[in-house]
């Protein structure tokens, strides 16, 4: 019984020392820019966005040919709005809209990091861009 305790103690010490040697995972800085290159004014409503270190519904106003930028520090995988977001609306001139849901299978989805350009700049720094275009407006449906 003493041998089992000694072995368990030794294994525990070894695991702890390996963890200490590796250190804590480094925080990741993630910079996002959303550009409105369309000829329409846009409201981007994101539900459960992680912006300013708070999870809440967030609305961005992006005029034609302008952009918004935001950044956050996170240890989680890279997600466009922090990882808690479940849906987003892109509303054009308060007349037409596109609705995106997380994992909805659409080829282009503002909630899907694969629809953004950019990527890793350095070990713990990512930059991503997304463009809202006139083609998005053409694909939007009328708000009823």
pLDDT tens column, 97-111? 999 998 888 889 999
Query: Can you tell me the mean pLDDT for 55-71?
Result: 93
**Alpha-carbon distance 40 to 63, whole Å?**
7
Question: Which of the listed ranges 23-32, 50-59, 105-114, 125-134 does the model predict with the highest average pLDDT?
Answer: 125-134
CATH architecture assigned to 25-142: Sandwich (2.60)
- Enumerate helices (H) and strands (E) in the chain, giving the number of each: 2, 9
* Residue 55, pLDDT score: 84
Report whether pLDDT(142) > 80: yes
**Alpha-carbon distance 62 to 134, whole Å?**
14
- How far, in Å, are 31, 48, 92, 123, 134 from residue 120 at the CA level? 10, 25, 31, 7, 28
Whether this prediction's pTM lies above 0.75 is answered by: yes
Higher per-residue pLDDT: 33 or 1: 33
* Residue 6, pLDDT score: 56
Torsion of Cα atoms, 47 then 117 then 69 then 93, to 10°: -60
- DSSP annotation of 115 reads G
């Amino acid at each position: 019984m003493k041998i089992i305790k000694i072995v368990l103690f030794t294994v525990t010490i070894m695991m702890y020392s390996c963890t200490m040697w590796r250190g804590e995972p480094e925080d990741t800085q993630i910079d996002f820019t959303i550009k409105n290159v369309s000829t329409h004014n846009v409201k981007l409503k994101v539900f459960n966005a992680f912006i300013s270190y708070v999870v809440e519904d967030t609305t961005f106003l992006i005029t034609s040919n302008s952009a918004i930028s935001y950044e956050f520090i996170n240890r989680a995988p890279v997600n466009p709005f922090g990882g808690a977001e479940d849906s987003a609306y892109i509303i054009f001139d308060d007349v037409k809209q596109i609705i995106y849901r997380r994992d909805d299978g659409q080829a282009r989805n503002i909630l899907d990091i694969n629809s953004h350009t950019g990527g890793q700049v350095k070990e713990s720094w990512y930059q991503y861009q997304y463009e809202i275009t006139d083609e998005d407006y053409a694909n939007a449906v009328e708000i009823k």
